[in-house]
Amino acid sequence: MKRFVLLMSVSLLAMTITGVAFGRTFVTIGTGGVTGVYYPTGGAISRMVNQKYSEYKIKATVESTAGSVYNINAVLGGDLEFGVAQSDRQFQAYSGIAEWAGSGPQKDLRSVFSIHPEAITLIATKQSTIKSVMDLQGKRVNIGNPGSGQLQNSKDVLAAFAISLDKLHAEQVKAVEAPGLLQDEKIDAFFYTVGHPNGNIKEATSGRIKVNIIPVKGKGVDKLLQRYPYYAHATIPIKFYPNAGNRENVESIGVKATFVCSTKLDEKIVYAVTKEVFENLEEFKKLHPAYSVLTRENMLQGLSAPMHRGALRYFRETGFIRHIDPKLMP
């Protein structure tokens, strides 16, 4: 018995140090709140990989996290193997700006591929009378939790309208809690940078309190688009939210979800994950409606950290390498 316990603890130790036990490799994918699109995205990627367990002996699991910034830091710190992160956050981490201004450029960050588009989504109750970003002044607004992608996007949008944070009652709670707070009349509006459709905005628009999706547009926003390479025009299709107060598609700006890891991650693991997602893209796309626009070519755009060598090996073998920005290759 003692010997068994000893053996077990030695194997557990080996497992925690290397992520490998009994010939199996465990990988964890950092996502976001359970009502967003990152969480099902982690699920979809792990499903593609776990399907080939007999070949790769990789067991992928998903963790709900605070979002992009948390995921980037966790993959760099070795707490997670992979993470989903906004393209703007990937750019900032690799360049050592925004949350990384103090720690400097995160040169170990690697791109694997990009995924669905995400729109800066601003939701407000009808009774708040908020019709544009300008009207957020004096209101209770959730700008995003620390560790999330949206925290910086909300700040950028407010700055584009010359609204300083002290002009509103800014909350910083997780996106998963925001629809409840809105319906309980505890906040008037919230920002969420997210793919569509998603459960969060469905929940926010389906309650007792009438809710509108507010456009993020105007001169200030045009300047944002010129100033930052990672922002692009985005449209939120209103058909996804039949209970929202407004009935027109909503104009905004957005970024892309990307899949990242550390340069330290084993080449074989990254190769296997890349290969399974790319070879089974049609099956993958059926797992969430936000993936409907994905093509193998556009999944190689929107990246700023260099490609991981495991992903590059697959893209070289298949010729997809020609769609990759040469700056991303070592």
Contacting residues toward ligand GLU, per CB under 6 A: 32-33, 36-38, 67-68, 86, 118, 148-150, 193-195
Nearer to ligand GLU, 86 or 114 (CB): 86
Cα(48)–Cα(43) distance, integer angstroms = 9
CA atoms within 13 A on the CB side of 320: 21
Amino acid residing at 288: H
**Please, which residue, 148 or 205, has the CB nearer to ligand GLU?**
148
Q: How far apart are CA 178 and CA 226, in angstroms?
A: 30
- We find the least distance from the C-beta atom of residue 144 to ligand GLU, in angstroms, to be 7
- Secondary-structure percent of the chain, ordered helix, strand, coil, rounded to 5: 45, 20, 35
22-57: string of b/e by CB count within 10 Å (b at 16+)?
Answer: eeebebbbbbbbebbbbbbbbbbbbbbbeeeeeebe
Minimum gap (Å) between residue 103 Cβ and ligand GLU? 19
Contacts for 143 with CB less than 8 Å, ≥ 6 apart? 150, 151, 154, 155, 158, 165, 170, 171, 172, 190, 191
Query: Cβ closer to ligand GLU: 86 or 125?
Result: 86
Query: Minimal distance in Å, beta carbon 224 to ligand GLU?
Result: 17
CB of residue 53 to ligand GLU, shortest distance in Å: 26
Which CB atom, from 121 or from 274, has the smaller least distance to ligand GLU? 121
CB of 304 to ligand GLU, least distance (A): 15
List of residues 6+ apart from 104 with CB closer than 8 A? 96
Nearest 5°: the CA angle 136, 141, 144 is: 130
Residue 179 or 195 having the CB closest to ligand GLU: 195
- 315 vs 322: CA distance, rounded Å: 8
What would the two tokens of residue 242 be? 């039949």
Shortest approach of ligand GLU to residue 25 CB, angstroms? Answer: 25
Q: What is the nearest approach in angstroms of ligand GLU to the Cβ of residue 72? A: 10
110 or 174: CB nearest ligand GLU: 174
CB closer to ligand GLU out of 58 and 157:
157
User: What is the maximum span of the chain, computed from C-alpha positions, in angstroms?
Assistant: 72
Do residues 39 and 32 lie in contact, with contact meaning Cβ atoms separated by under 8 Å? yes
Cβ closer to ligand GLU: 33 or 310? 33
Q: Measured from the CB of residue 3, what is the shortest distance to ligand GLU in angstroms?
A: 46
